[in-house]
Amino acid sequence: MKRLRLLLRLLSIERVLVRHGLDDLIRATHLLRPVRFVLLLWPGSWGRTRHEGPRAVRIREALEELGPIFVKFGQSLSTRPDLLPDDVAAELAKLQDQVPPFPADQAREILEQAYGRPPEQVFAAFEPEALAAASIAQVHAARLQSGEEVVVKILRPGVQQLIERDIEVLYAIAGLANRYWPEARRLRPVEVVEEYDKTCKAELDLMREAANCTQLRRNFKGSAQIYVPDIYWDYCNDRAMVQERIYGIPINQMDALQAAGANIPKLAAHGVEIFFTQVFRDNFFHADMHPGNIFVDVSDPDNPRYAAVDFGIVGTLEDRDRRYLAENFIAFFDYDYQRVAQLHVDSGWVPKGTRVDELEAAVRTVCEPIMNKPLKEISFGQVMMRLLQVARQFDMEIQPQLILLQKTLLQIEGLGRELYPELDLWETGRPVLKRWMAEQTGPEATAKRLARDLPDIRYTLEHLPAVARKLVDQIIANNGELPLPDRQSMRDREMRQFRVIAGAALLVAGALLIGLDVEPDWLGWLASSAGLLSLYIGRPET
């Protein structure tokens, strides 16, 4: 049954492409070739009128008909007009906030189920026609009884089932790739789909999105660079989310920004700083940065401020990955390609036997031509393609946990390219990263780590005197030697003494490492733990 569902879905995808006159895409897509002839023999496709119109319009309409995952794909492509024909880029941009909305009566019905009463009784005013619509949800303008202007976000009816259906197709394709594609071990398609699956499910959880918005607002409270709207929790549930309404100029309306006198270079630089701040300072970044989700407040044109919406997709990284990324970026900024290569080996992103000098030479070949160039002369898309070739050469495994970050970085580049092509990404990002790295190794960071680990430190210190006193009492009672059974062999006695001495040395060394804030910070705790364990193993048996 599952295989039949997958086959029918593949047939339906091909049928939509044929109906919109996109046969070239089918011929170019190896996955669809085997079922193309089945479709041609299917009576339901005979005599169907081919969709007419400009190619770009047909592509957009086909993506809209195929469903949310395909619309998301189109949105991501739309952020990179430098990689697309002009007509296609302009048309795909409509997927950012001009997806056809679902009917107003359906929206009212959903809200009535969510609140147990019609929306007109919940809000002082409610606009039944959608203010904006996207692949997952749409928003309606409203006003609270207390007077605040808000937007009400509602999931599309049946969207969860549609996404689950296409995710199932992606898992099937990834499974086939694992079995039959030699590159699958390195590119890990199943793990990639798993990451995408988690991202999609998170985007369907409106309460989670509200919490994401609240966290991001807290992170940038009082910021002169970005404003994050407030959430009205009393009106939020799993069917609807209510947040402060944002006014501003959409980020991609350059004519309007210029007419308002906005300081475009400053705005572009702030965008890069915000990205690096979210990733490295906060470890919490907005990961759906297409233009439909970003506005600009130009009330002070010389100091324009971003205003973000749609927080369904946010990213976080493990501390280890975040630190390696920061060190990689800084090494790039400093032209230290040997350090970049060594970090890739140390992190396990390339096999342990990789020759650092050979990897260094390959990375230098890719990166040196773009350093210190303005954004208009750089394409990270092309750079990433060349880096993927390097990755294949050195058997580098893909890191699924970094895919969301890479996608966001490409979106940031696309926005920056439209805003201010003269922007130097490297020089803009370098101070933020340098500051973050300094904070990680300074006294304040040490104090924060000690405060975080205080319960563990307190527990260890509370129990250490009792353990040490008991051990000392036993040694004194045994004439200065470890109390051992009379018939214990000399070898066992010496081993116990060694364990006690080594344990004490490790305990002291661990305390020094912690106190001196030696990196990596876990080394001191490891030494202390090993010392206590050695003392425990070496204790006299009773």
Active site members: 288
**Counting every residue, how long is the chain?**
542
**What residue has token string 């390959």?**
362
Q: Which of 231, 234, 249, 281 is nearest to 435 (CA)?
A: 281
HSE at residue 239, side-chain half, CA atoms within 13 A, is: 14
Q: Which residues, including other chains, have CB under 8 Å from residue 150's CB and lie 6 or more apart?
A: 123, 141, 142, 143, 144, 232, 235, 242, 243, 244, 245
Rounded to 5°, the CA angle 68-69-75 comes to: 85
Q: Where are the beta strands (DSSP E) in 62-204?
A: 125-126, 132-133, 137-143, 149-155
CB 240 within 8 A of CB 152: yes
Q: Give dist(CA 89, CA 94) in Å, integer.
A: 9
> Is the four-CA dihedral 408, 413, 417, 419 of positive or negative sign?
positive
Query: How many Cβ atoms from other residues are within 10 Å of residue 83's Cβ?
Result: 14
Tell me the H-state helices in 181-223: 184-187, 189-203, 206-219
Helices 319-333 and 425-441: crossing angle in degrees, nearest 10, is 130
Query: How many Cβ atoms from other residues are within 10 Å of residue 118's Cβ?
Result: 13
